[in-house]
Amino acid sequence: MVQTFRRRRDPRIRSLYLPWLAGALAAGLLMACGDDGGAGAADTEQTEADAAATPEQAGAADEAVLGTIEEIEQLEGEEREAALLECATAEEPLLWYTTLIEDQLARPLAEAFEERYPGLTVEISRSNSSGVIEKMVTEARAGRIESDVWSASQVQPLKEADLIQPYSFPTAANYPDDLKDAAGTWVASNVYVFSPGYNTQAVPADAVPETYEDLLDPRWKGRMAWSTSSTSGWTGFVGHVLETMGEEEGMAYLEQLGQQDIAALDVSARQVVDQVIAGEYDIGLQIFNHHTIISADVGAPVDWIPMEPLMVSSNPTGITKGASSPCAARLFTDYQLSLEGQELFREADYLPAHPDVSAKEEALIPEDTGLEYQVMGPEYFDEHEDEWNEVIDQFFR
Amino acid sequence: MTDTVPPPVRDKYLTQGRRKRSPRSRRGGRGRDFPRWLVTLLAVVFSVLVIPPLVYLLVVSATIQDFATGAITAVTWQNYARVLGSSETLISLRNSFVFAAGSGLIALTLGGTQALIVERTNAPLRQIAYLVAVISLAVPYVLYTIAWVLLLGTAGPVNELLATIFGTGEAPVFNVYSLTGMILVEGFLWSPLSFLMLASSFRNANASLEEAALMSGATLRQTLSRITLRLSMPAILAILMLVFIRAVEAFEVPALVGLPGGVDVLTTDIFLSIRQTSPPDYGYASAFSVLMLIVVAVLLYFYGRLSRSAGKYSSITGKSGGAKLIDLGRWRFLATGLLVANAVVLLVLPLSLLVWAALSPFYVPFSAEAASRLTLMHFETALTADQYVDDIRNTLVLSAGAATLVLGFTALAAWLAVRRASGGRYLDYIATTPLIIPGIVMGVAILSLYILVPLPIYGTLWILLIAFVTRYLPYGMRYSFSGILQISRELEESARVSGAEPVTVFRRIVAPLIMPSLAAGWFFVFLIAARELTMAILLSSAGTTVVSVRLFDLWQNGMLTELAAFGVVWSAIMSMAAASCYYLAKRAGIDMY
């Protein structure tokens, strides 16, 4: 797919710029290095050919589509799937804003979906949760809804900006209640268990910290890192400590932890694990425990610490209101939450939300091992995020 | 053709449009013969590009807006009060200054030493310095910075080496995530450019003065310090200042090296107020941007004065004889050794580390055990995944488009300005204004402007193109100006006398003659646009990702090994392009920098 100067929703604009751009590009290339001109022209021809091949379905009458979707939603099973597929085939490629790590899960999932429904295309844009939200809100403000399907650990900002399309999520009908929203705004595609992880070469087995108190050992001063992203980062950690230890004890603990010079990395928790593997830090806090298993499987010197109580949270996903590919968005969400899609989560060593799909590594799920844990729902998080960020300002900046 | 003189190193177009009139241009009429529509058209284009973002930046910084609609709800100084009332602002300001001064000194020392060896001595193999410089200019800064973080990191090879020398303590010997680390990496990043610019200054200086000193019995050291360096002092100071300003505006190193160590500078403060704050705090970011704009404008003012005062040295730089090289004797091998060491440190080490990372299934420091796991899978992904192909295409289209528009506009504008068409001064003035706008500020201004304006370009490459063209207009002016200044007016006058219209004169006489300067300028803008991260990171979206933004995202997302593979592939493409264009430019007798 050529994405260059195209507005996603209006292919007509391309015809305005193409001849002009082709000229500019060819002239430019010729001007700098004469013998590159041929290549430039070839590239442009290809772009033009591609533009010509794009069907002229300028903005396919939105109301008709919405009408169709309402009808389709009345259907069930294969009939419904076929109708969605037919409608989705005429749409633009699906754009998925996700927090799932691309090479581990997002890409395999998209590829499996494309294989299952030939002719459909999924484009992935991966960011941290705050990045997904920032992009969606900014785009909405600019009057351009880019994403079709989203996943983010916070849903409140999206609700406030009226960016969520309520949906019935038929394939998630038997998911447990705490993994979905009664109003149909979101369903969790998977569950996260947060814990510290450590470099097994840098930290001898007898020195591995087992309790939150152990993290205060001067030995770890300057040797720990966490992400600045919300749930999977310092905010989540601070919130979890305050929730499980209580206000007073928690604050006293965090004040001491603040003396430990924890490196706050402006990256995903996955990158924190990578930095721990590379030996940059001994311990990564508030990382996803399945990430350590994925890396350890290919030989990386890393493991997670079942530090009780563990923090458990879910990964909400849903459909964007005003999505330009509403049928594909529904089809993809259904697929992601179906048995088949959830198997891919399992295969990737993620923790599936589907009650009938277990985790590949059962030790990762506290429910199955009897480890003590505390669930942090997205609503609870949203409610307290601001206070926790103040605590971070106080102790960790 | 007389147009083989390189663009002046002292960049007088950094002086915000204040220029002495040359006697020759005063002689011609007041430019009544130039088509008004052309001047008007360019003035409108430039004004539309430059003025709205600045005005809107001021508006946002002094108001409170409703986030959902963007409507202004109150006029207030609150944003400025928040910026100025915070002690963190002062710390960031101080950090920015220390960071910029330190990296300027390092870049100057490294670049200057090389330039001296390459242009003034007979050290063997000295051309490798050019190869290193040209290749490193093709590598995106974000990729370099990542490589340096890995090299100098806690578990990196440098610290391992230091630990074996100084004994292992609890803490790493050298902590890269510090102001010192930032200065070092930024200094490395700028040393190739400072080398290229100083080399051209040394090359064009008059060597007969050095010869005279040597013949009068001065030692080599005395000659270097009293003659060579002193003659180049204006150029040296100008480059120091230039790197200083660029480092104040730098984003890559502060984001990747500074943030993990808790060292904030002006640019990262602005970035975080948009990216780490939900909803994005445009008011604060804009107020902060205005502050930064003022800082850079003040710096540029002094830079302009510095460049102008350099004028008194210029009487001895005009004549450029075939410079006689200084015979270093046996020391020449040491000089070559220094160049090789520089090549190893600046190019070989970071690139090898990236190749190592690209071949590893996951990144760990080099070891024999890890070497047994190497795989080509990341290269396979980097070469086949649609998104990477799209990124490369986006980057090439955008950079080529920006370079073409910039040079096209500025060639005309510079011609009208030099030939004193009425309104030409305005064109010059407005086209050089973006110099005071740091990339991150331009990004903030354009983002907040086009989110509000009902022009559907957000999310397309157009918004990036507008930002790039605006930002690089001054660079285009610099190359175009130096090209036009070299053309004698008589050529155009005889064409006019023979009945040619002004536009025809430009097309048939001026454009062909300045083509070498334009080509050099085109490629310079193309290269810096292809590396640009600060504006692109704020303005690109899912379908319009460019290479540098992709590399930054991959870093944040924890896909270092795939990042390394993609980075190596891209650097190879750009190095080849840079090297071949540099070679062609050299053959045509143009200095690219």
**Three-state SS string across B519-553, please?**
HHHHHHHHHHHHHCCHHHHHHCCHHHCCHHHHHHH
Q: Read off the pLDDT band of B587 (50, 70, 90).
A: confident
Q: Would you state the pLDDT for residue B350?
A: 92
Helix, strand or coil, per DSSP, at residue B298: helix
Question: Is A358 inside a domain boundary?
Answer: no
Is the minimum CB–CB distance between B518 and chain A shorter than 8 Å? yes
- Give the domain range for residue B151: 88-265+325-355
Which residues of chain B have a CB within 8 Å of the CB of A260? none
Q: Would you state the pLDDT for residue A166?
A: 93
pLDDT digits (tens, 9 = 90+) for B518-558: 888 898 899 889 999 989 988 887 778 899 999 998 988 88
Half-sphere exposure (Cβ direction) of B199: Cα atoms closer than 13 Å: 22
Is the minimum CB–CB distance between B522 and chain A shorter than 8 Å? yes
Question: Is A272 inside a domain boundary?
Answer: yes
The verdict on A107 and A248 lying in the same domain is no
What is the Cα–Cα distance from B506 to B455, expressed in whole angstroms? 34
pLDDT digits (tens, 9 = 90+) for B228-265: 777 777 778 878 888 888 898 899 999 999 988 889 89
The verdict on B528 and B410 lying in the same domain is yes
Helix, strand or coil, per DSSP, at residue A238: helix
Q: Would you state the pLDDT for residue B309?
A: 60
The verdict on A203 and A95 lying in the same domain is no
pLDDT digits (tens, 9 = 90+) for B29-59: 444 578 888 899 999 999 999 999 899 888 8
- Give the domain range for residue A45: 12-52
Which residues of chain A have a CB within 8 Å of the CB of B280? 134, 137-138
Q: What is the pTM of this model?
A: 0.80
CATH number at residue B185: 1.10.3720.10
**Interface mutation target, options B541, B561, B562, B566, chain A, most CBs of A under 10 Å:** B541
Question: What CA–CA distances, in Å, run from B307 to A304, B110, B193, B239, B476?
Answer: 59, 22, 18, 10, 19
Greater confidence, A333 or B496? A333
The verdict on A385 and A342 lying in the same domain is no
What is the Cα–Cα distance from B475 to B482, expressed in whole angstroms? 11
The CA-to-CA distance between both ends of chain A, in Å, stands at 43
The verdict on B253 and B401 lying in the same domain is no
Helical (H) or strand (E) element with A29? helix A12-32
Neighbours of B493 (CB within 10 A): 13
Beta bridge partners of A193: A312
Half-sphere exposure (Cβ direction) of B53: Cα atoms closer than 13 Å: 26
Is the minimum CB–CB distance between A200 and chain B shorter than 8 Å? no
Q: At what angle do helices A37-53 and B386-418 cross, to 10 degrees?
A: 120
Q: Would you state the pLDDT for residue A146?
A: 86
The verdict on B424 and B572 lying in the same domain is yes
Question: What CA–CA distances, in Å, run from B568 to B93, B126, B140, B319, B379?
Answer: 35, 26, 10, 43, 9
Q: Would you state the pLDDT for residue A69?
A: 78
The verdict on A257 and A380 lying in the same domain is yes
Reference A274, options B40, B509, B361, B444; nearest CA is B361
The verdict on A228 and A261 lying in the same domain is yes
Closest residue in chain B to residue A121, using alpha carbons only: B386
The verdict on A83 and A183 lying in the same domain is yes
Q: At what angle do helices A247-257 and A234-245 cross, to 10 degrees?
A: 140
Question: Is B360 inside a domain boundary?
Answer: no
Which residues of chain A have a CB within 8 Å of the CB of B405? 24
Q: Would you state the pLDDT for residue B469?
A: 96
The verdict on B109 and B154 lying in the same domain is yes
The verdict on B10 and B104 lying in the same domain is no
In sequence order, what are the residues at sequence separation of 6 or more whose Cβ sits closer than 8 angstroms to the Cβ of residue B259? A264, A265, A266, B268
Mean pLDDT of chain B: 82
What is the Cα–Cα distance from A28 to A34, expressed in whole angstroms? 10
Which residues of chain B have a CB within 8 Å of the CB of A13? 456
Compute the nearest-CA separation of A309 from chain B (Å). 26
What is the Cα–Cα distance from A260 to B431, expressed in whole angstroms? 50
SS3 for B431-475 is HHHHHHCCHHHHHHHHHHHHHHCCCCCCCCHHHHHHHHHHHHHHH
Q: Read off the pLDDT band of B11 (50, 70, 90).
A: very low
Q: Work out the average pLDDT over B498-521.
A: 87
Question: Is A151 inside a domain boundary?
Answer: yes
Neighbours of B47 (CB within 10 A): 13
The verdict on A183 and A283 lying in the same domain is no
Yes or no, beta carbons of B280 and A134 under 8 Å apart: yes
Which residues numbered 81-110 in A keep a CB inside 8 Å of some CB on B? 95, 97, 101-103
Half-sphere exposure (Cβ direction) of A112: Cα atoms closer than 13 Å: 17
Q: Residue B523 is nearest to which of A32, A95, A219, comparing CB atoms? A: A32
Reference B231, options B210, B253, B252; nearest CA is B210
Structural tokens at position A173: 């009908």
What is the Cα–Cα distance from A125 to A98, expressed in whole angstroms? 6
Reference A232, options A257, A269, A262, A264; nearest CA is A269
Helical (H) or strand (E) element with B352? helix B349-359
What is the Cα–Cα distance from B555 to A100, expressed in whole angstroms? 15
The verdict on B197 and B243 lying in the same domain is yes
Question: Is B72 inside a domain boundary?
Answer: no
Compute the nearest-CA separation of B165 from chain A (Å). 19
What is the Cα–Cα distance from A353 to A345, expressed in whole angstroms? 9
Residue B456, pLDDT > 50, answer yes
What is the Cα–Cα distance from A16 to A284, expressed in whole angstroms? 51
Is the minimum CB–CB distance between B455 and chain A shorter than 8 Å? no
- Contact present, B503 and B496 (Cβ < 8 Å): no
Greater confidence, B308 or B397? B397
Report ipTM for this prediction.
0.75
The verdict on B416 and B334 lying in the same domain is no
Reference B288, options B258, B259, B266; nearest CA is B266
The verdict on B6 and B46 lying in the same domain is yes
Q: Give just the sign of the alpha carbon dihedral B439, B440, B445, B447.
A: positive
The verdict on A182 and A284 lying in the same domain is no
Proportion of chain A above pLDDT 90, given as a percent: 45
Q: Residue B542 is nearest to which of A7, A95, A142, comparing CB atoms? A: A95
Kindly report the backbone phi and psi dihedral angles of residue A319, in degrees, each rounded to the nearest multiple of 5, phi listed first: -105, 140
Preceding omega of B361 cis (within 30 degrees of 0): no
Question: What CA–CA distances, in Å, run from B13 to B172, B430, B432, B519, B529?
Answer: 45, 11, 7, 19, 19
- Contact present, B187 and B341 (Cβ < 8 Å): no
Reference B191, options B127, B104, B77; nearest CA is B104
Compute the nearest-CA separation of B456 from chain A (Å). 8
Reference A108, options A349, A331, A309, A355; nearest CA is A349
Yes or no, beta carbons of B401 and A279 under 8 Å apart: no
DSSP strand pairing (B63-65 vs A263-265): unpaired
The verdict on B421 and B468 lying in the same domain is yes
The verdict on A160 and A213 lying in the same domain is no
Question: Is A384 inside a domain boundary?
Answer: yes
- Residue whose pair of structure tokens reads 């002495």 in the numeric block: B20
Residues in chain B: 593
Q: Work out the average pLDDT over B108-133.
A: 87
Is the minimum CB–CB distance between B165 and chain A shorter than 8 Å? no
Question: Is B276 inside a domain boundary?
Answer: no
Structural tokens at position B15: 């002086």
Residue B407, pLDDT > 90, answer yes
What is the Cα–Cα distance from A171 to A175, expressed in whole angstroms? 9
The verdict on B34 and B147 lying in the same domain is no
Question: Is B63 inside a domain boundary?
Answer: no
Helix, strand or coil, per DSSP, at residue A43: helix
The verdict on A186 and A196 lying in the same domain is no
The verdict on A208 and A147 lying in the same domain is no
Question: Is A216 inside a domain boundary?
Answer: yes
The CA-to-CA distance between both ends of chain B, in Å, stands at 20
Residue B99, pLDDT > 70, answer yes
Question: Is A252 inside a domain boundary?
Answer: yes
pLDDT digits (tens, 9 = 90+) for B356-378: 999 988 888 888 888 888 889 89
CATH number at residue A210: 3.40.190.10
Helix, strand or coil, per DSSP, at residue A197: strand
- Contact present, B439 and B532 (Cβ < 8 Å): yes
Compute the nearest-CA separation of A141 from chain B (Å). 6
Question: Is A357 inside a domain boundary?
Answer: no
The verdict on B428 and B338 lying in the same domain is no
**Interface mutation target, options A47, A102, A127, A291, chain B, most CBs of B under 10 Å:** A102
Question: Is A57 inside a domain boundary?
Answer: no
Is the minimum CB–CB distance between A376 and chain B shorter than 8 Å? no
Yes or no, beta carbons of A5 and B460 under 8 Å apart: yes
The verdict on B341 and B401 lying in the same domain is no
- Contact present, B147 and B353 (Cβ < 8 Å): yes
What is the Cα–Cα distance from A287 to A233, expressed in whole angstroms? 7
The verdict on A186 and A325 lying in the same domain is yes
Is the minimum CB–CB distance between B65 and chain A shorter than 8 Å? no
Question: Is B287 inside a domain boundary?
Answer: no
What is the Cα–Cα distance from A358 to B381, expressed in whole angstroms? 30
Compute the nearest-CA separation of A7 from chain B (Å). 6
Residue B9, pLDDT > 80, answer no
Greater confidence, B223 or A219? A219
Count structural domains, chain B. 2
Q: What is the pLDDT along chain A (397 residues), one digit of tens a residue?
A: 444 444 444 433 333 344 444 444 444 443 344 333 333 333 333 433 343 333 333 344 455 565 677 778 778 778 888 889 999 999 989 999 999 988 889 999 999 999 999 999 998 888 888 888 888 888 887 778 889 999 998 888 899 889 999 999 999 988 988 899 989 999 999 999 999 999 999 999 999 999 999 999 999 998 999 998 888 899 999 999 999 999 999 999 999 999 999 999 888 899 999 999 988 899 999 999 989 988 898 888 999 999 989 999 999 999 999 999 999 999 999 999 999 999 999 998 888 999 888 888 777 777 777 888 888 888 888 889 889 989 998 998 7
Yes or no, beta carbons of A228 and B155 under 8 Å apart: no
Which residues of chain A have a CB within 8 Å of the CB of B581? 32-33
Is the minimum CB–CB distance between B122 and chain A shorter than 8 Å? no
Is the minimum CB–CB distance between A375 and chain B shorter than 8 Å? no
Count structural domains, chain A. 3
Closest residue in chain A to residue B375, using alpha carbons only: A298
Q: Would you state the pLDDT for residue B70?
A: 64
